[in-house]
Amino acid sequence: MLWVASLFASLGCNFDNGPLAAISYSCGTVSAPAATGAGAPNDCADIDAQLPPEPTLPADPADPTCILAAQQATTATSWIPDETNLDTARIQAALNACAVVKLVTSGVNNAFVAAHLTVTGKTLWIDAGVTLYASRNADLYQKTGSCGVLGINDSGACNDFLTVSGTSPAIVGDGIIDGQGGEPLIGHDYSWWQLSSALQEIDGSIGNPTLINLGTGTVGFLMYRITLHNAPKFHIKITSNPPGGTTAVCVPGQGFTVWGLTILTPSRWLNSQNLPLSPHAARNTDGVDPGEGNIATCGVIAHSTISTGDDHIALKGGHWVSNVIIAHNHFGTGHGMSIGSETYGVYTDANGPHYGVENVTVCDLTIDADSRPVGSGSSIEDSNGIRVKSDSSRGGHVNNVSFRDVCMRDVANVIMMSTAYNPLFTGTDFPQFSNLTFRNIRYQTCLTTGLPVVTLNGFNTAYPARNITLDNVIVDNIGAEGVEAEYVDNLTLGPGYVNFIPTGPGVTMTDSRVGAPAPTACSFPQLPAPTLPTGWLR
C-alpha cells in the first residue's frame, strides 16, 4: 500500500499516533453535478443553442428474444463473476438478429460476462442494475499471439471488448460496463493494468483490449447514460461522422453524441487479491478519444463525468478531428482535457485537404484533482487541466480551438501548450498550433502544496504558435517561476484580466487587459468515487 503511504506522507500524517483523522475536502464543493439535461450558469448560451436535444432511451423491444435476462449475480463484496458459462454467444446472437438488445436483471441475478462482442448498426441497452463484465480470459481476445503475455511491446496484440460500426449504432442505459482491468487474468496472477505497468519504464505500448472501439465508416454513433469502469486500456475510441459524410453541413451531434456518460476508473481501491488500485495503476485508460482510430467529425460530448488514469478526453489528430463541442462536463482524477499528442493527420475530401484538429469548443468544464496523483511511481505532474500536446515525431495542425468557462483546482499543469510533449521522439512533423483561446479560466488551490504551472510553447522560430489569447484567466498562487513561454507569435492578454504575464524567447505580445481581476466563480460537484476501505483516507 505504498501509494497510500505516499499520500499520507505528503499531507504530513503520522502513522504512529493511532487512527487517522478524516480530512474534509470541501473547498468549493457542492453536493452533486447538475442533472444531465440542465445547463449551468455560464456564458455558453451560444453553445447551448447548438446542442441537440438530450437523447432518449428506445422503446422496449417487441420481440421478447431481444430482452436477455442475467443468469448470475455479483455483489458489492463478491464482484468477480463466474466465467464457466459466458454470455458471449447469446448476446451476439441477439445483436445479430435484433435492432435493440436489452440486458436486464432477473431476480437477484444482475451480471453478464462476455468477450469480443460486435455491435453493427444496433443498439445495446444495458438496463439499470445490470453490469456487463469483460471476460478476464486473455485467450478470448487473442489477435497476434501476445495478448495477455507479460513484457511484450505489441500495441495490436488483442481484439477489443466491444467493436462498434455501421449506421446509428448505440450503447445506452443506466447500467455498467466493467472491463475488470485491475483484476487478475484467468490463469495468471497479474492483471491487464499490471501488464501495462510492466512496460512503462520503456514507454512501451501494451495491446490490452480497448473497452469500446468504433470502426472506420461508423455513422451517427450514440452513447447515452451508460457507466464505464476499469477499462483494460482506453475506455472508448470514437471514429464516427454524419450521415452526409465529411462534406455535409455539420449539425452538432450528427457525427457522434456522448451524453450523460460516467467513467470511474478504478471503481475500487482494492482488487480481489487485496492489492491497492489507484488512478496511476490504471495506465493508458483514456476516457473518451475521438479520432484515435480514424477521422471523427461533428460530435458532441456533454453532461458527463470522468475520473480515470489518463486523459479524460483526448482529441486525437492522427487522422482528422473537426467540429466538436464539449460542454457541461465534470472531470475528477486524470491527465486533463487534452488535444493530441498526434496532430499530424491529413484527410482529403471533395472540399480539399483537412488537417489535425480544428474547430473545437470546450465550454463549462470543472477539473478537480481531488483524488490526487497517488500510487507508487506517480507524480503530481500527471495532474493536468488543459493540454494541447504534440512533438516533432507526430506534429501537425491544431487550429481554432476555444476553452471557455473552465474551473480547476489542485491540478499541477493548469494550461500546458507543449510542442515537445515527448522530447525523446524526433522527426520532421512539426507542431503548428494557431488560434487558441482561453477565456474565463480559473484555477484554485485547496489542498495541494505544489505550485501551479502555465506553459505556452511554440516549436521554434519557423513554427511558432500563432494567435493565442488569454482572456480573464486567473491562476491562484501563480508565480513567475510557474510560467513558461517561448515562440508564440501574437499572444494577446485581455480584455479580461490575466494575473500573470508570459514572456520568453520568440514571444510577441499585446497587453489589452482592462480593469481589475474578475475571476470566474467556481464550484466543484461531488463526483462519483470508490468507497474507501475502513480507516482509509483519499
| Catalytic site positions | 310, 335
* DSSP-derived 3-state class of residue 398: strand
Closest CA to 200 of 80, 283, 277, 308: 283
Closest CA to 28 of 440, 413, 409: 409
DSSP string, 437-489: EEEEEEEE-SS--SPPEEEEE-S-SSS-EEEEEEEEEEETT--GGGEEEESEE
Which residues does 7 contact at the CB level (< 8 Å), separation at least 6?
372, 374, 537
> Does a cis peptide bond (omega within 30 degrees of 0) precede residue 341?
yes
Burial of residue 385, with CB atoms counted within 10 A of its CB: 0-12 exposed, 13-18 middle, 19 or more buried? buried
CA atoms of 352 and 277, how far apart (whole Å): 48
Which residues does 96 contact at the CB level (< 8 Å), separation at least 6?
none
Q: What is the pairing mode between strands 352-355 and 313-315?
A: unpaired
Closest CA to 498 of 418, 415, 400, 389: 415
| CA distances in angstroms from 441 to 28, 314, 411, 500, listed in the order given | 16, 19, 13, 13
CA atoms of 218 and 121, how far apart (whole Å): 8
Q: What is the Cβ-side half-sphere exposure of residue 22, based on CA atoms within 13 angstroms?
A: 7
